[in-house]
Amino acid sequence: MKIGLRIFLGYFLVVAMAALLLGRVFVAEVKPGVRQAMEDTLVDTANVLAELATDDLLAGRINDGRFASRLRGLSGRDFGAQIWGFQKRDSQYRVYVTDAKGIVVFDTDARDGRTGALGKDYSRWNDVYLTLQGRYGARSTLADPDDPDSSVMHVAAPIRDGQGRIAGVLTVAKPNRSIAPFIQRSQLKVLRWGMVLMGMSLLIGLLAAWWLSRQLGRLRRYAQAATAGERVVLPDVPGEFGELGRALETMRVRLDGKQYVEHYVHTLTHELKAPLAAIRGSAELLEDPMAEADRARFIGNIRGQGERMAQMIEKLLALAAIEHRQQLERPEPVMLSTLAQDVLEQCGGPGAKGDGRIRLSLPSTGLAVLGDAFLLRQALLNLVENALDFSPADGLVEVHLQTSAGRARFEVFDRGPGVPDYARERVFERFYSLPRPGGGSRSSGLGLCFVAEVADLHGGRASLDNREGGGAVATLELPLASQG
Return the pLDDT at 365. 66
DSSP H or E segment with residue 337: helix 336-348
Are 369 and 459 spatial neighbours (Cβ–Cβ below 8 Å)?
no
Claim: this prediction has a pTM higher than 0.85: no
Three-point CA angle 268, 272, 276, nearest 5°: 160
CA distance 19 to 197: 8
Are 375 and 457 spatial neighbours (Cβ–Cβ below 8 Å)?
yes
DSSP H or E segment with residue 388: helix 373-390
Per-residue pLDDT of the chain (484 residues; tens, 9 = 90+): 565 566 666 766 777 777 666 666 665 566 677 778 888 889 999 999 999 999 999 999 999 899 988 888 777 676 667 665 666 766 788 899 999 999 999 998 887 667 788 999 999 999 999 999 999 999 988 888 888 878 888 999 999 998 989 999 999 999 887 766 666 777 677 777 777 777 777 777 777 777 777 777 777 777 777 666 666 666 777 766 677 766 766 766 655 544 444 545 555 564 566 567 777 777 777 777 878 887 787 787 777 667 656 656 665 565 555 655 656 767 888 888 888 888 888 777 665 666 778 888 887 667 888 888 878 888 888 888 888 888 887 788 888 988 888 888 899 999 888 888 888 888 878 767 777 775 555 566 677 887 888 888 888 889 999 988 888 999 999 998 876 5
CA diameter of the chain = 161
CA distance 277 to 271: 11
**All domains of the chain in start order, with CATH:** 3-185 (3.30.450.20), 231-327 (1.10.287.130), 328-484 (3.30.565.10)
CB atoms within 10 A of CB 130: 16
How many angstroms separate the Cα of 412 from the Cα of each of 8, 105, 379, 385, 386? Answer: 55, 121, 12, 10, 10
List all residues 6 or more positions away from 286 whose beta carbon is below 8 Å from its beta carbon: 295, 298, 299
CA distance 143 to 150: 5
DSSP H or E segment with residue 397: strand 397-404
CA distance 44 to 34: 16
